[in-house]
Amino acid sequence: MTNLRASITGVGGYVPEDILNNEELSQMVDTSDEWITQRVGIKERRILKEKGKATSDMAVMAIQELLDKTRTKPEEIDFLICSTITPDMAFPSTANLIGEKLKLKNAFNFDLSAACSGFIYGLETASRMIESKAYKKVVVVGADMMSSVTDYTDRSTCPLFGDGAGAVLLEPTSEDVGVIDRILGYDGSGKEFLHMKAGGSLNPPSHQTVDNREHFVYQEGKAVFKVAVSVMSDIAVNIMHRNNISPEKLAWLVPHQANMRIIEAVARRMGIKREQVMINIQNYGNTTAATIPLCLWNYEDQLKKGDNIILTAFGAGYTWGSIYLKWAYNKK
Ligand code: UT7
């Protein structure tokens, strides 16, 4: 079998019940529904409030739904990647914790840290492992509890983020579907503009790091915005061109959901219509590694076998990635 590819054969998702809307945020910091809606496009986000619950619990919910929908037994999964920058704890990995909770007893697993590009990095890694023929049922879950690293006294970042998890099942196929092309990259000089100052080995937690509010997302939004627009659209346009996908032939763009203005600029540069773009930022905000699989989850009913789909993301690092795939199934 020469043309073996990895195809997505199911999608699961989970967002917490608690909603934090723009009105409530406006009571917490000096902001307004109007500013957030116009500048970012978010109306509300989900927050995991339940005591004792964390990123792994959201991932477990998403993967459980995925297993149920695809009628897959936990022991059939032979590999799991959890993309996250908000692990339950520094170690063991969140993937380990998920494996234990779901009894994925045959799934070797690890966490992958690539911030908002985490799902794309995970999908690329997992699809190559399927292509290697060593693994047959692989789960990639993007899960982040961004509320655990968001400073709700900082109006420049707190409206942006939300919590959630999205998972896909990957299986080998010899049909003309699945992951076809990819462009991934990074630029480490972007660290300056988007990072978390403390909590790692460089600046371990201390009274001082807590007092200085250094355990939260730090972002220079304007600088990140400019690079995000140009990189996300460059890689998406490049992947369109080199696979001869005209705007009419593209069924869906699935962009990382960081800012509606970024999404619109990318779509414009690709020459596609808004109806071709998956958007759920208004409901969930930026859930980091979960945005892309949550879009696939929300739009699954509208996807048809053979649809040309381009995923594109940009995040802290900087990291970026774009993947071209053909959808593999019609939902029953
Ligand atoms: O997902 C990973 C990658 N991250 C991204 O892609 C995020 C990229 N950046 C962005 O999406 C945008 O830069 C933000 C949404 C973060 C900020 O939007 P902006 O249009 O770049 O605003 P700004 O930071 O340039 O601020 C413009 C003004 C400032 O006031 P002055 O100096 O013009 O008087 C800010 O103080 O808006 C003010 N401002 C706010 N006003 C009301 C900043 N945040 C708020 C707020 N409410 N929440």
Output the CA 222–ligand 1 centroid distance in Å: 7
3-state secondary structure of 83: strand
The CB of 40 under 6 Å from ligand 1? The reply is yes
d(CA 260, CA 327): 25
CA 155 – ligand 1 centroid, Å: 9
- Which member of 22, 96, 109, 116 is catalytic? 116
Q: Is 85 in the pocket of ligand 1 (CB under 6 A)?
A: no
pLDDT band, residue 44 (cuts 50/70/90): very high
Q: Phi and psi of 211, rounded to 5°?
A: -60, -35
Could you give the CA distance from residue 48 to residue 95 in angstroms, rounded to a whole number? Answer: 19
Task: Say which residues have a Cβ less than 8 Å from residue 275's Cβ, sequence separation at least 6.
Answer: none
Q: Is the CB of 13 under 6 A from ligand 1?
A: no
Return the residue whose CA atom lies nearest to atom 21 of ligand 1: 222
Query: In the structure encoding, which two tokens stand for residue 167, read together?
Result: 């998972």
Q: Please, what's the largest Cα pairwise distance for the chain? A: 60
Nearest CA to ligand 1 atom 17: 221
CA-closest residue to ligand 1 atom 25: 222
Tens of pLDDT, residue by residue over 60-87, are 999 999 999 999 999 999 999 999 999 9
Kindly provide the residue ranges of all beta strands, DSSP E only, lying in the chain, ordered along the sequence. 5-14, 19-21, 44-46, 79-83, 108-112, 138-145, 163-173, 178-186, 194-196, 217-219, 252-255, 308-315, 319-326
**pLDDT the model gives residue 183:** 98
Ligand 1 neighbour 258 (Cβ under 6 A): yes
- Kindly give the distance from the C-alpha atom of residue 26 to the centroid of ligand 1, in angstroms, as a whole number: 15
| pLDDT class of 3 with cuts at 50, 70, 90 | confident
Architecture of domain 180-326: 3-Layer(aba) Sandwich (3.40)
218-260 pLDDT, tens digit per residue, is 999 999 999 999 999 999 999 999 999 999 999 999 999 999 9
CA of 31 to the centre of ligand 1 (A): 11
Residue 117 pLDDT greater than 70, yes or no: yes
For the chain, domain boundaries: 5-176, 180-326
Question: What residue type is 122 in one-letter code?
Answer: G
Share of the chain above pLDDT 90, in %: 98
Residue 259 CB less than 6 A away from ligand 1: yes
pLDDT band at 2 (very low <50, low <70, confident <90, very high): low
For residue 224, the CA-to-ligand 1 centroid distance in Å is 10
Q: Same CATH fold, 180-326 and 5-176? A: yes
DSSP code per residue over 148-209: GG--TT-TTTTTTB-EEEEEEEEEEE-SS-EEEEEEEEE-GGGGGGEEE-SSSSSS---HHH
Tell me what the mean pLDDT of segment 316-331 comes to: 97
Distance 286 CA to ligand 1 centre (A): 14
pLDDT at 11: 98
Q: How many other C-beta atoms can be found within 10 angstroms of the C-beta atom of residue 121?
A: 25
- Tell me the residue type at 189: S
- Tell me, yes or no, if 215 is annotated catalytic: no
Any atom of ligand 1 within 6 Å of the Cβ of 152: no
Q: Which residues lie closer than 8 Å to 170 by C-beta, 6 or more apart? A: 6, 7, 8, 9, 123, 126, 127, 130, 137, 138, 139, 140
Q: Which of 242, 216, 227 is nearest to 188 (CA)?
A: 227
CA torsion through residues 198, 202, 205, 207, sign: negative
Supply the angle between the helices 55-69 and 94-102 in degrees, to the nearest 10: 50
Q: Is 146 in the pocket of ligand 1 (CB under 6 A)?
A: no
**Ligand 1: does its nearest atom lie under 6 Å from the Cβ of 155?**
yes
| Domain 5-176 bears CATH identifier 3.30.365.10 | no
- Average pLDDT over the chain, rounded to an integer: 97
Mean pLDDT score, 162-177 = 97
224 lines ligand 1 (CB under 6 A): yes
Note the pLDDT of residue 174: 95
> Does position 1 have pLDDT exceeding 60, yes or no?
no
Instruction: State the average pLDDT over residues 115-126.
Output: 98
Cis peptide preceding 318, ω within 30 of 0: yes
For residue 332, what pLDDT band results from cuts at 50, 70 and 90? confident
Residue type, 244: N
Task: Mark whether 286 is an active-site residue.
Answer: yes
User: Which atom of ligand 1 is found nearest the CA of 224?
Assistant: 8
pLDDT value of residue 331: 86
Return d(Cα 44, Cα 258) in angstroms, integer: 13
Q: How confident is the model at residue 114 (pLDDT cuts 50, 70, 90)?
A: very high
- Residue 221 burial (CB count, 10 A): 17
Over the stretch 263-319, which tens digit does the pLDDT of each residue have?
999 999 999 999 999 999 999 999 999 999 999 999 999 999 999 999 999 999 999
- Tokens (6 digits) for 275: 């109806």
CA dist 242 and 109 (Å) reads: 33
CB 132 within 8 A of CB 119: no
Neighbours of 261 (CB within 10 A): 15
Going by their DSSP bridges, the two strands 138-145 and 163-173 should be labelled as antiparallel
